[in-house]
């Protein structure tokens, strides 16, 4: 059960950014510097303004912590402080609290309209790991490219498969990308060719952000992994399928993945997702002890993807759910560190493509159009087998239960022609 909180702030009934959520991000007004804010309904709460007004006096906060262009220093303060601050903002915004309520001076100083601010990368990402944790996705890909009877490779149910990706090309929602170029090989031709990808794809993912550092040689037990996870964002891990198919042997993805990954700008804390815990799929065979956890470790988060060709209306092409992931975030972080790999604040971990059991829940064009063999219908008699120039891909996600909604907003990206 969720303790019901009524707020004096006008929040639309279907808002992702309820008082139960209060996600955090980096914003800037037309004139001004970047600073830290929280989303509530259609507003951004300027945390620096609240701090300067003296409402956070009981919380041990460094001076100027909210005058920053990243959340890293704030996150590094630890959960004792960040959770206390989120609870304090809930208190200030609750209908029974009159410290800010009714004061037009405070309200005009603290509240900014979300539609009138610009959002930026919430964190500086030191390291990025991408996992491959949806059994349905891995099975679909294995079926397409290998033997359908042995779609999953022998290691898949024993380890959370992943690779170290490119952190510098992770970008926030609203930043356009150019179609990447590289080598690709037509199976019917003897030699490879060079040029823009003809098989540009999205990958529907979630990503979590770490909030603590560890020393080289340390490992994080699966049961304590959530102590090291600050929060989550939506994650579109763009992929150039034809470039990837040629280059990935023997070392894995390179140019096909490093050109861009897009994220939603608001970071939803793992604490805000507490009411939406659920059990993941049964794991067989039994996992090694370092990957074992107790209790529900997955999260029931509804996800969707829409494609909008330039000048046309958008079509929702996928509806999936984060709860279906075979490997939980706890297991992913435990596996990342079991060899002694050290963590840094702001590290980002992609879930891997989130696909469900039905064709309308597949989390990539590779699956939705089945390797280009089944054109996907869009509005106005348009079709797609992969993403074309001028297309805008938008991902949305939210959790909802017992009248409580916690959402992520969206990550939206337009594809421009090759540069």
Supply the residues annotated as catalytic: 137
Burial of residue 349, with CB atoms counted within 10 A of its CB: 0-12 exposed, 13-18 middle, 19 or more buried: buried
Other beta carbons within 10 angstroms of residue 194's beta carbon come to: 9
List the beta strands (DSSP E) in 144-221.
Answer: 162-164, 170-172, 177-178, 181-184, 193-196, 200-201, 204-210
**Alpha carbons 52 and 27: distance in angstroms, whole number:** 17
Classify residue 49 by its DSSP letter: H
**For the chain, how big is the Rg over CA atoms in Å?**
22
Among candidates 101, 119, 140, which has minimal Cα distance to 35?
119
Rounded-to-integer distance, Cα 357 and Cα 244, Å: 25
* Residues shown for the chain: 419
| Most distant CA pair in the chain, distance | 74
Place of tokens 């490779």: 153
The phi-psi region of residue 69 (left if phi > 0; otherwise alpha if psi is between -120 and 50; otherwise beta) is alpha
d(CA 290, CA 345): 23
Contact 267, 123 (CB under 8 A): yes
Give the separation between CA 202 and CA 199, rounded to whole angstroms: 10
Alpha-carbon span 64 to 33, nearest angstrom: 12
Distance CA 43, CA 37 (A): 10
Closest C-alpha to 231, from 8, 71, 47, 340: 71
Instruction: Give the E-state strand segments of 6-126 in sequence order.
Output: 24-28, 35-40, 43-46, 111-113, 118-119
Beta strand segments in 217-363, E = 229-236, 239-240, 261-263, 268-269, 277-278, 298-299, 302-308, 315-321, 348-350
């Amino acid at each position: 059960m969720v303790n019901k909180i009524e707020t004096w702030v006008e929040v639309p009934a279907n808002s992702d950014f309820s008082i139960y959520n209060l996600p955090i991000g980096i914003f800037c007004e037309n004139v001004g510097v970047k600073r830290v804010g929280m989303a509530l309904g259609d507003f951004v709460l300027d945390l620096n303004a609240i701090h300067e007004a003296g409402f956070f006096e009981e919380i041990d906060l460094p001076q100027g912590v909210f005058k920053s262009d990243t959340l890293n220093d704030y996150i590094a303060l630890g959960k004792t402080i960040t959770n206390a601050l989120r609870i304090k903002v809930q208190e200030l915004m609750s209908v029974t609290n009159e410290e800010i309520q009714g004061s037009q001076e405070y309200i005009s100083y603290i509240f900014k309209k979300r539609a009138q601010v610009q959002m930026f990368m919430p964190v500086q990402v030191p390291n990025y790991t991408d996992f491959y944790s949806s059994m349905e996705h891995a099975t679909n890909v294995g079926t397409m490219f290998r033997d359908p009877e042995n779609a999953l490779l022998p290691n898949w149910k024993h380890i959370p498969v992943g690779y170290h990706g490119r952190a510098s090309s992770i970008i926030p929602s609203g930043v356009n990308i150019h179609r990447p170029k590289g080598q690709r090989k037509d199976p019917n031709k003897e030699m490879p060719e060079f040029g823009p990808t003809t098989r540009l794809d999205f990958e529907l993912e979630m990503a979590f952000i770490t909030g603590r550092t560890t020393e080289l040689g340390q490992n994080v037990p699966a049961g304590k992994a959530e102590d090291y996870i600050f929060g989550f964002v939506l994650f579109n891990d763009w992929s150039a399928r034809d470039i990837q198919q040629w280059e990935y042997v023997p070392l894995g993805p390179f140019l096909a993945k490093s050109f861009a990954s897009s994220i939603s700008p608001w970071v939803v804390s793992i604490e805000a997702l507490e009411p939406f815990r659920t059990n993941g799929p049964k794991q067989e065979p039994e996992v090694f002890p370092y990957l074992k956890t107790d209790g529900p470790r997955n999260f029931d988060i509804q996800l969707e993807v829409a494609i909008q060709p330039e000048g046309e209306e958008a079509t929702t092409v996928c509806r999936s759910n984060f709860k279906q992931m075979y490997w939980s975030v706890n297991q992913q972080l435990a596996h990342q560190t079991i060899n002694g790999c050290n963590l840094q604040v702001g590290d980002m971990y992609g879930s891997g493509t989130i696909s469900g059991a039905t064709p309308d829940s597949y989390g990539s064009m590779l699956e939705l159009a089945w390797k280009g063999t089944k054109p996907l219908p869009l509005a106005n008699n348009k079709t797609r087998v992969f993403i074309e120039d001028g297309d805008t891909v938008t991902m949305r996600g939210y959790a909802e239960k017992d009248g409580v909604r916690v959402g992520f907003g969206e990550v939206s990206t337009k594809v421009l022609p090759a540069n």
